[in-house]
Amino acid sequence: MSLLLYDFTGKVALITGSSSGIGAATAQLFAKSGANVVVTGRNSDGVSKVAKQCTDVSPKQLKPLQVVGDITIEDDCQRLIDTTVQTFGKIDILVNNAGTGRVASIADSDYMEKFAFIMQTNLNSVVYLTHKCLPYLAKTRGNVINISSVASKQALISGSPYCISKAALDMFTKCMAAELGPKHHIRVNAIIPGVVLTDIAVHSLNISREQSDQMYTAIGSKYPIGRPGQPEDIATAVAYLASDKAAGFLTGTCLLADGGHIAANI
């Protein structure tokens, strides 16, 4: 896939959940566009693999910062921020991409445990990282991009924690855009993907990647665009929103990058 490149030379981009999927594609696109990137996730092998890919595509072969950690743990989040600033001296772009889902019926005996885990991953970590990155983003007049989901717009049976977390993320995005723009000159936006060929369903539904791809391909075939999303589709949208030159007038936007999922009421 040919990706539109923006010039992020000299910028520092921190992308959570960047050891695979959308986060990995986003890290690689920023690296290819000249940025210093922070690759982070729980899987050390995945982090190392993506970091090498970023170096390979970087015009100046810049080496990413690799941080293995869990964004549901506040100490890990703080270490991620501290290490980034110690290494690169600043933060220009925060991409809150890490997320998870679980099948969770309200009648399940462990519903509240699933609910807490999903909220901690999909919402609380985003709030915490945005809060803690604020001083650095204010200095660079940076921007934040949150990765939401069409589930923020549509109810899923046995998916209420996931839907709630993403709907809350959309509202957090708007609130932060309104709050951080006037005083700190920080833009805050979100992207709402449709189904994308990643591993999220593998972990959420306890199925194989082959089964996940078959399921998402079937859904994507119903899209007006005729296919499911690829991680690079969302990475391109992230780069667009992160570019002050291309999207400097956009803040508080929840950008649909869903192949027509919502428009066609899939």
Closest CA to 71 of 48, 97, 91, 92: 97
Q: Please, what is the end-to-end C-alpha distance for the chain in angstroms?
A: 25
Sheet holding 65-68, edge to edge: 65-68, 36-41, 12-15, 93-96, 143-147, 187-193, 254-257
- CA separation (Å) from 152 to 76, 100, 111, 140? 27, 14, 19, 30
Beta-sheet strands, E only, within 52-139: 65-68, 93-96
Q: What tokens appear for 160 in the block?
A: 């209420």
Q: CB under 8 Å to 16, separation ≥6 — which residues?
A: 23, 40, 41, 71, 80, 95, 96, 97, 98, 125, 129
- Cβ distance 3 to 25 under 8 Å? no
From 128, 162, 216, 223, the catalytic residue: 162
Active site residue 136: no
Catalogue the active-site residues: 162
